[in-house]
């Protein structure tokens, strides 16, 4: 049983809470028994598993108070796993393209929603949060283990593309047949170069006096519309993680 905070396995957990370390090592941390169960349902075993002593959860047992000290998100964590990052090699429709989405909670929720409603790919453009950061992983509720992710430019995504904008876009019916839904940061929205790469833009109608929707909520509404379209693919191919893809570098948003 691990009883020392200087143990190398615990040091790795602390180290992987930094984005630079995650990208350098190609690993990430997930906390909680529910995430462990989601990973195993997806057929993905942790490379390292630390669990609270006496709980019978397997892996390497750690003195419970000590394990709690190394948890990034919540007290009372009974399981912390280390997994290999998995990146897809090409975008699949229906695709979600994110540009400048720096909030890890929003990003993780979009990953979860895409897995539930679309089943294609999530493509991360410039200045996005790390999908393998602790908050994004938790917000994904386990979808991170099965939803194909990749980093690429808007030009690499399948057409037709539709951008979601706060004002002045077409009705939601324009989403019918969309191959790529493009979403930007809540405050700044999509930049001009992404809108120019889209065949259309749509706006979600709001009640009078309402100013905006949360990004993840807007994504859910749009993806639900896309998923209801006749002929929209609902599942990614059986093995979207063929080959290895480099996650790339980026600013530490989460």
Question: Tens of pLDDT along 82-128?
Answer: 999 999 999 999 999 999 999 999 999 999 999 999 989 999 999 99
Pair of tokens at residue 252: 């530490």
pLDDT at 232: 43
pLDDT above 80 for 5: yes
User: Which CATH code fits 95-228?
Assistant: 3.40.1280.10
- Separation CA 3–CA 103 (nearest Å): 35
pLDDT at 241: 57
- Residues 31-85: tens digit of each pLDDT: 999 999 999 999 999 999 999 999 888 999 999 999 999 998 767 889 999 999 9
All CATH 3.30.1330.30 domain ranges of the chain, comma separated, are 8-84
pLDDT above 80 for 249: no
Model confidence at 228, in pLDDT bands (50, 70, 90)? Answer: confident
| Domain over 8-84 is classified CATH 3.30.1330.30 | yes
pTM of the model: 0.88
% pLDDT > 90, the chain: 80
């Amino acid at each position: 049983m691990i009883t020392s905070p200087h143990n190398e396995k615990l040091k790795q957990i602390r180290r992987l809470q930094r984005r630079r370390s995650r990208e350098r090592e190609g690993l990430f941390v997930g906390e909680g028994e529910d995430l462990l169960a989601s990973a195993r349902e997806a057929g993905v075993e942790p490379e390292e598993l630390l669990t609270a002593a006496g709980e019978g959860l397997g892996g390497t047992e750690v003195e419970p108070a000590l394990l709690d000290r190394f948890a990034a998100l919540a007290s009372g964590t009974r399981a912390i796993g280390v997994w290999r990052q998995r990146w897809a090699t090409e975008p699949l429709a229906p695709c979600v393209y994110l540009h400048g989405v720096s909030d890890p909670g929003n990003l993780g929720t979009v990953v979860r929603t895409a897995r539930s409603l679309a089943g294609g790919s999530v493509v991360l453009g410039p200045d996005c949060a790390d999908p393998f950061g602790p908050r994004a992983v938790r917000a994904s509720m386990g979808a991170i283990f099965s939803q194909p992710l990749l980093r690429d430019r808007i030009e690499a995504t399948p057409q037709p593309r539709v951008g979601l904008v706060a004002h002045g876009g077409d009705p939601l019916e324009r989403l019918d047949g969309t191959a790529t839904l493009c979403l930007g940061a809540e405050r700044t929205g999509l930049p001009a170069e992404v809108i120019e790469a889209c065949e259309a833009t749509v706006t979600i109608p709001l009640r009078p006096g309402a100013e905006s929707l949360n990004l993840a909520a807007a994504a859910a509404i749009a993806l639900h519309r896309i998923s209801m379209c006749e002929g929209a693919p609902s599942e990614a191919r059986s093995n979207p993680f063929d080959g290895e893809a480099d996650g790339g570098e980026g600013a530490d948003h989460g």
